[in-house]
Structures are given as C-alpha cells and as structure tokens.
C-alpha cells in the first residue's frame, strides 16, 4: 500500500524538481485517484532527473556535443543519452501505459502510423538515401519523445527537471551566441568553411539563425513557469533576466520571424494569463521584459541598427520566396494525389520542377507544408493528431492553480511549436523540435496526474514526497 512520508529539509539542486508542488487535496473521482496514486507515488531517482535536465541542451547542441564536434552522422551525446535511457523508459511506459490520457495514447498510435507510412514512401521518393536519413532523423525525434515520457511518467518533480533543462539550454546556446557577437565568427565556418547568412546574425549551434530563433521561442513558456513557481524574489529576478536575454538573442538572430514570434508570445501569454485568471505577477514580468531590453537598445548603436534591420522591408524578396516555396509544397501535395512525394524529397522535386520559378533549391521554410508534400494526407493527419493531442489532453480550463499553470505553459509551447514550424527552414528532423513536442506531452501527462487542490507551500520542510516503501 502506498504511504506518505514526510521528508526533512534537505535542499536539492534546481533540476531535481524542488519548485514543484503536488497539491494537497485528493482527486475528485476514483479514476483520478487511481491515476494519481499510480504516477505521483513513483520516485524518479536523481540520475533520471539529471538525464531529463540534460536532454534540451544536448538536443540543441546536436553534432556540436559529440566526440567529433560538428561532424554530421557522428555519435552525438544526445543520441548516446537516448540509447542509455531507452530500455528503462520503455519499461516505464509499459508499466504506466494505463495512466496515460486517452488522447496521448492516440498520439502514440499516430506516431507509429506516421513512421510506417514514411517507410512506404521510401518506395517512391526520388532520393532514397536522403529519404532514409530524413526518416531516421524523424524516428530519433519520436524516440526522444518516448524516452522523455517513459522517464518522466507524469511525475511533477521529474517535470521540473525537464523544465530547468530548457533554461540551461538557453544559457548554453546563448553563450555560443555571445561568442559569435564578440568575435564575428560562426560554428559552421569550422566545418563548411562559410556562413551563408548575415555575418552579424547569430545561429549558435543551429547553423541557421531562423532555426535558432525558433528554438528560443520554445523556451519562453518554461522560463515563465519557473519564475512563477520560485519563492525567492532574487531568484525570480535572475530568471527574469534570462527572459530578457532570450529576447536579446532572438533580436541578434536578425530573424524577423523570431522577433515577431517573441512579441506574439508575449501577447498570447498576457491574454492567456487573463483567461486562466493567474494574477498580475507574470503580466508584470512580460511587460517589463521588452522595456528592460529597450533601455540598452536606446544607448547601443549596434542594437538599434539591428532593430532597424529586423523591422525593415529590405527582405521582401525573402518573404516572396517563402510564399512561393509554400505554394510549391501545396501543389506537390495535390499533384501526388495526396499520397506525398516521399520522405526528404521536397528539394529534389523542387529542383526538377520546371514551374518552380525560383533560383534557389532550399527546404520549404514551412514544415507543415513540407510534411503535406512529402508524407501526404496520412502523414499530415497523423502528425496533426500528435500535436493536437498535446493541447486536447489539458482541456477544459481547470479550476485550480497548479493545473491552470500547466495549461498556460502548454498554450505557450503550442504557440511556439506552430511558429517554429512556420519560420524555420525545416525542423522536421531537428531534435529540439521533437523535444518541445515531448515536453508538451509530458506537461499533458503531469496535468492529468496533478491533484485537484491548491498548491502546497514550497518550503522544503513542508514538502511531501510519496513513495512505495510498503506498509
């Protein structure tokens, strides 16, 4: 029988989940009580919490965190970590499968359908080798989602470790961005010998500034929730500075989509805070963030020039290219009869298209249109089921604080996910995008297992830990 054990006041590092509260009131129905008892009582040991903490950073660094930094195809530390975590995660998923929200089970089956259809698509894709690489990247991304779910298992403390991992990823990639700003050098110059974008823009480990900007958008939600859960005003102030730093990095990518996305997220967050009735504290943080950044912009000629270039219409040709690429992707979808042209085929089909009207052979710059073009109706519907499940699993709006915070975070991450799919060159094979999807599903599972009640105090002496010590 499960029992409640009151622990002492030993402090744990941030990634261990000390900012989480499990709630103080029992669930309202026997079904909810059974789900909560099964998942909230699970102890997630520190090695697993540390692994969850490392996932966002290693996914963001990609090939740059490996034994041969920058070499594509090398055994990245991210992939090594997935291998080490895979069997325990699968075992955990098997044990806790019955506690998954029904919509999340639908997402699991949709993932399998997507991969199976991709395998069939290899039969007619114009470049089989490229298609295989594309499908392997997608498969690894989906495996990372499964590993995160199987390791986290709806446990709020494990969820906190993952959340802090996103903040760590901002620090790590931001350090690379600061190095780019200071030196004018870029990581791709050490591998490809050239940087294909503006020399003043930063891309960190993502090579493409748009992709880096897309990644930064996905960290806004976790950062805001960490600020809301912290009890120390000093700690809240420091993490709020990290939010300002994130906006600073987004501006330095010189990606208009990233800057517009960040401002859009601030607007969505403000509206969501009002809708979920979560008070005025985070609204204040959101309003102060752009103001805090505006002060150095006013005194810095470089930042002022960056703002001007980002908001100018000089890149109208780039916008036209994006629209044309999306139109081509939609046309390939219909011309294939809804079957799709095959995994990784967009650029090959574009190169052979006499109607393309563009001089550049590049990805679709619209991941959703690219999925439709390459994977057809079946792949597109399966993928939409996956991402819609992230939001559907947390509806309707909860009546209590802890669940509302989780719903608020899901809304922000969903908005960032959609925006990233629209502004990045292609994120279908980007592990960071799949980590964000996995994070949203973990949030949904945590929401499903969070007791319906007011949050407990965050003092360590009052914190209650549930385990299965017997009795």
Q: With 80 as the cut, is the pLDDT of residue 427 above it?
A: yes
Per-residue pLDDT tens over the stretch 83-125 = 999 999 999 888 888 878 888 888 899 999 999 999 999 999 9
Q: How far, in Å, are 60, 143, 172, 210, 218 from residue 65 at the CA level?
A: 9, 19, 11, 20, 20
Mean pLDDT, rounded, for 434-453: 83
More confident residue, 372 or 462: 372
Structural domain that includes position 10: 3-467
Q: pTM for the full model? A: 0.82
Handedness of CA 138, 140, 141, 142 (dihedral sign): positive
Handedness of CA 243, 244, 250, 256 (dihedral sign): positive
Number of domains in the chain: 1
Q: How far apart are CA 55 and CA 321, in angstroms?
A: 34
Per-residue pLDDT tens over the stretch 121-143 = 999 999 898 899 999 999 999 99
Q: With 70 as the cut, is the pLDDT of residue 219 above it?
A: yes
Q: With 90 as the cut, is the pLDDT of residue 451 above it?
A: no
For 232, phi then psi, to 5°, come to -90, 130
Q: How far apart are CA 164 and CA 150, in angstroms?
A: 18
Cβ–Cβ < 8 Å for 60, 246: no
Instruction: Give me the pLDDT at residue 22, please.
Output: 37
Among 429, 406, 418, 436, smallest CA distance to 261 is for 418
Cβ–Cβ < 8 Å for 4, 26: no
Instruction: Give me the pLDDT at residue 452, please.
Output: 53
SS3 191: coil
Mean pLDDT, rounded, for 167-187: 93
Q: How confident is the model at residue 332 (pLDDT cuts 50, 70, 90)?
A: very high
Per-residue pLDDT tens over the stretch 334-343 = 999 999 999 9
Q: With 90 as the cut, is the pLDDT of residue 218 above it?
A: yes
CB atoms within 10 A of CB 301: 8
- Average pLDDT of every residue of the chain: 79
Least confident of 68-77, 309-318, 391-400: 309-318
| In the chain, % of residues over pLDDT 70 | 75
Per-residue pLDDT tens over the stretch 399-419 = 566 778 888 888 899 999 999
């Amino acid at each position: 029988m499960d029992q409640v054990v009151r622990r002492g006041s030993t402090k744990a590092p941030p990634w261990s989940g000390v900012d989480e509260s499990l709630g103080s009131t029992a669930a309202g129905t026997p079904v909810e009580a059974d789900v909560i008892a099964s998942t909230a009582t699970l102890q997630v040991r520190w090695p697993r919490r540390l692994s969850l903490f490392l996932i966002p950073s290693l996914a963001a660094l990609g090939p740059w965190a490996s034994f041969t930094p920058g070499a594509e195809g090398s055994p990245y530390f991210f992939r090594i970590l997935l291998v080490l975590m895979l069997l325990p995660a699968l075992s955990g998923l098997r044990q806790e499968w019955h506690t998954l929200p029904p919509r999340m089970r639908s997402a699991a089956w949709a993932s399998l359908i997507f991969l199976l259809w991709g395998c069939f698509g290899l039969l007619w894709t114009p470049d089989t080798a490229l298609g295989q690489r594309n499908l392997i990247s997608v498969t690894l991304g989906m495996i990372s989602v499964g590993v995160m779910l199987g390791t986290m298992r709806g446990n709020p403390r494990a969820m906190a470790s993952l959340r802090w991992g996103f903040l760590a990823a901002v620090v790590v990639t931001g350090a690379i961005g600061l190095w780019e700003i200071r030196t004018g050098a870029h990581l791709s110059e050490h591998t490809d010998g050239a940087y294909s974008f503006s020399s003043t823009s930063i891309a960190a480990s993502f090579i493409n500034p748009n992709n880096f900007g897309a990644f930064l958008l996905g960290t806004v939600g976790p950062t805001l929730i960490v600020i809301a859960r912290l009890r120390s005003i000093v700690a809240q102030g420091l993490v709020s500075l990290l939010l300002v730093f994130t906006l600073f990095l987004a501006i330095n990518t010189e990606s208009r989509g990233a800057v517009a996305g960040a401002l859009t997220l601030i607007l969505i967050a403000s509206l969501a805070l009002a809708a979920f009735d979560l008070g005025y504290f985070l609204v204040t943080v959101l309003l102060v963030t752009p103001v805090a950044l505006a002060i150095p912009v006013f005194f810095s000629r470089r930042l002022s020039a960056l703002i001007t270039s980002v908001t100018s219409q000089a890149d109208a040709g780039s916008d036209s290219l994006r629209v044309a690429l999306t139109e081509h992707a939609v046309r390939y979808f219909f011309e294939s009869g809804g079957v799709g042209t095959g995994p990784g085929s967009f650029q090959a089909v574009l190169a052979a298209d006499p109607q393309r009207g563009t001089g550049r052979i590049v990805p679709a710059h619209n991941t959703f249109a690219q999925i439709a073009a390459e994977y057809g109706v079946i792949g597109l519907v399966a993928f939409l089921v996956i991402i819609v499940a992230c939001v559907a699993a947390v509806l309707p709006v909860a009546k209590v604080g802890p669940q509302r915070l989780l719903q608020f975070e899901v809304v922000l991450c969903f908005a960032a996910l959609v925006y990233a799919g629209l502004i990045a060159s292609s994120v279908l094979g980007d592990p960071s995008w799949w980590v964000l999807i996995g994070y949203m599903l973990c949030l949904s599972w945590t929401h499903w297992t969070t007791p319906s009640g007011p949050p407990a105090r965050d003092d360590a002496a009052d914190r209650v830990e549930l385990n299965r010590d017997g009795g």
